[in-house]
Amino acid sequence: MSQENFIVDKKGRKIAVQIPVSVYEKLIADSEELDDIKEYRKAKKHKGEPIPFDQAFKEIENGLV
């Protein structure tokens, strides 16, 4: 990733980084995808009765979960 620019303090220590918005957006999307994968894996370990997708979606939309 050669598109980053580092912000340094008076002693030359890197304290922040600037990246293009497109790179930032990809990092955010990847992070959200990883969160979804973690939640999926957590849900798969849960021993419960599966419910139909439509019912689950309605419960989420209605704030019942």
Whether 54 maps to a domain, the answer reads: yes
Answer yes or no: is 14 within a domain: no
Q: Does 4 map to a domain? A: no
pTM score of the predicted model: 0.58
The pLDDT of residue 65 is above 70: no
pLDDT tens for 42-63 read: 888 877 788 899 998 888 888 7
Domain around 52: 22-65
Domain membership flag for residue 1: no
Domain count, the chain: 1
Whether 10 is in a domain gets the answer: no
- What mean pLDDT, rounded, does the chain reach? 89
Confidence of residue 28 (pLDDT cuts 50, 70, 90): very high
Q: Is 37 domain-assigned? A: yes
In this predicted structure, the answer to whether residue 15 has a pLDDT above a threshold of 80 is yes
Query: b/e map of 5-35 (b: 16 or more CB within 10 Å)?
Result: eeeeeeeeeeeeeeeeeeeeeeeeeeeeeee
Residue 28 lies in a domain: yes
Q: Are 13 and 24 in contact (CB under 8 A)?
A: no
